[in-house]
Structure 1
């Protein structure tokens, strides 16, 4: 049910210019804490979702007061989307309503005057059910993970150890070594991004890339994603070269660049996705930086460089056309 509702909200935003709204607190009569809102000059239209079994437990007055404070608007039109299986009789919510049978993906009943909204919802429902938008495979993320894993297999073979990498092997394969870079081996600013010091180092970074990469790939598109990843990694290596003399390896600088890209997206789209997303991204960044500065053998300057580089590059590139 939650996935069905999120799909409808996303399409209302993408096709008809609604914004996503998160309702504060838990109130009876709601199937989802997310809805869609469209603001006009002196009014707002709010679409929210209820389950057919408890749609009438809504406290309309309390809900309206909460929305007036959130939207800073007194003239609010409520449209209640009731979702569930088929019923044998008409339903009578407290607001204007549209009843959707999610089993058959059909609209059964609706209030008089909502014909335009019904057409919008039908269009969104048709697009969802007919695979209008093909599911995108995060091919770039999978390629990056594959390259990192293959590089680790080579490292492990040459090291004669699958758990820990030999430092001499890492230097031979292209780790960031300051005096070698100063001697003209600039390729190390890139190759070091694909080397890891041990199996746990690899697994942690690949898990982070697998979790974050598909989101960035979807938001910015494959080309921008590659640019953000590689340039963030290079800036990370440059920061490490400038401020740290230690041998450095790992994909974490590029991954911090992806976090920077996610932060820029959240800040630019805060009116559509809510400030909670910004808080979550900032929390993840802060926790990772704090952990890095609390542990030894962590290239914190590389992390900072990746974060700064990813944020700056994303500002220059902009967000993909779909947003």
Structure 2
């Protein structure tokens, strides 16, 4: 497993009770993972082999401003086994090429065990290509290729082909063809349609999969897609296809996560999600042939499911 800041902090946040804050470094925001202990704050930062001492200094000043006891640990990523010359402080040096810890201070030993567990666990897992997001993308692409073959076109898929393959058609759904609430999620009207949807899924899916785990991610994705098509069937009389309702569910889940965890991960994540959702809503109302009912249905479902999951997790 290629250990990096995002994966390390994600694990510390999800499994070890840390929360994320930010400190200033040369005009930029950098993450710092914090955990309250009996001896004060246990803090973790990451840096590269060029900025490690500067990062440590700025993080140290940030912690001193809190007026609490702390233990600051710097995870330094390097590309060689050459010993990194640092000031005398708690540190762990990780060789990114060899994927191994090459030095660890005694105070940072717990981080060494966590990182070694990350690298060892990955060896026994299925390849990255088999994660949920990649599987969903692959299924969408395969079904799109089939629809292209049947339509003899890659730019615009024939509507009759989409209906035959399971598009959302209100009259058919109310006549009992409930399966269309699911099948419509995997159909797309053309090359541009599937490109933008798969790009959005690729960009957001990994984040949701990391935060919620595979099972809850699939629950959010599929229920959001079903709810989006159900609301569309109630409000919109038109034939519609696409995974955007399910993807809007992921946007809703991400926004709720960012809002509920803003004290731990900072406000920027929620602000970014809110901005993306707002822009997509504006696009939806300004462009023709966009099923806004499906988008709102998916967004609401994803937000509600995320809230329920996170509230339940907080009580554990």
**TM-score between the two structures when normalised by the length of structure 1:** 0.77
- What is residue 148 of structure 1 aligned with on the other side? 140
CA distance in 1: counterparts of 2:48 and 2:180, whole angstroms: 57
Q: 2:200 aligns with which of 190, 193, 208?
A: 208
Q: 2:241 aligns with which of 229, 232, 249?
A: 249
- What is residue 32 of structure 2 aligned with on the other side? 35
- 2:220 is the alignment partner of 1:228: yes
After superposition, give the CA deviation of every residue in 1:211-270 in whole Å (9 maximum; x if it has no partner): 222332333333322222221111101221222222211111011112222223333433
Confirm or deny: 8 A CA contact 2:44 2:75 kept in the other structure: no
Of residues 145-154 and 78-87 in structure 1, the stretch that sits farther from structure 2 once superposed is 78-87
Q: 1:258 aligns with which of 247, 250, 273?
A: 250
Change (3 A) 1:129 1:42: closer
CA distance in 1: counterparts of 2:86 and 2:148, whole angstroms: 65
Q: 2:229 aligns with which of 216, 237, 241?
A: 237
CA distance in 1: counterparts of 2:49 and 2:69, whole angstroms: 23
- What is residue 68 of structure 2 aligned with on the other side? 75
Of residues 2-11 and 242-251 in structure 1, the stretch that sits farther from structure 2 once superposed is 2-11
Larger Rg: 1
Change (3 A) 1:101 1:191: closer
Count residues in correspondence: 306
- 2:119 is the alignment partner of 1:119: no
CA distance in 2: counterparts of 1:51 and 1:150, whole angstroms: 41
CA distance in 2: counterparts of 1:244 and 1:123, whole angstroms: 54
After superposition, give the CA deviation of every residue in 1:97-155 in whole Å (9 maximum; x if it has no partner): 436374872336x5xxxx4x233233234334545675563433333223322322232
For structure 1, list consecutive stretches of 5 or more residues without a partner in the other structure: none
CA distance in 2: counterparts of 1:59 and 1:215, whole angstroms: 27
Deviation at 1:56, TM superposition (A): 5.5
Confirm or deny: 8 A CA contact 1:48 1:81 kept in the other structure: yes
- What is residue 176 of structure 1 aligned with on the other side? 168
Deviation at 1:12, TM superposition (A): 4.8
5 Å-filtered alignment, 1:1-323, equals 4-6=4-6, 8-10=8-10, 12-13=12-13, 16-26=16-26, 33-39=30-36, 44-49=41-46, 66-67=62-63, 73-77=66-70, 79=72, 81=74, 83=76, 86-87=82-83, 91-92=86-87, 96-98=89-91, 100=93, 102=95, 105-107=101-103, 115=106, 117-131=107-121, 134=124, 137=128, 138-318=130-310
CA distance in 2: counterparts of 1:204 and 1:92, whole angstroms: 48
Deviation at 1:87, TM superposition (A): 4.9
Deviation at 1:281, TM superposition (A): 1.7
Change (3 A) 1:203 1:66: same
Confirm or deny: 8 A CA contact 1:43 1:74 kept in the other structure: no
For structure 2, list consecutive stretches of 5 or more residues without a partner in the other structure: none
Of residues 121-130 and 290-299 in structure 1, the stretch that sits farther from structure 2 once superposed is 121-130
Q: Supply the RMSD in Å over aligned alpha carbons.
A: 3.7
Deviation at 1:302, TM superposition (A): 0.7
Change (3 A) 1:123 1:302: same
User: 3-state DSSP class of the match of 2:154?
Assistant: coil
After superposition, give the CA deviation of every residue in 1:266-309 in whole Å (9 maximum; x if it has no partner): 33433432222222222222222221112111111110100101
After superposition, give the CA deviation of every residue in 1:193-226 in whole Å (9 maximum; x if it has no partner): 1221111111211222222223323333333222
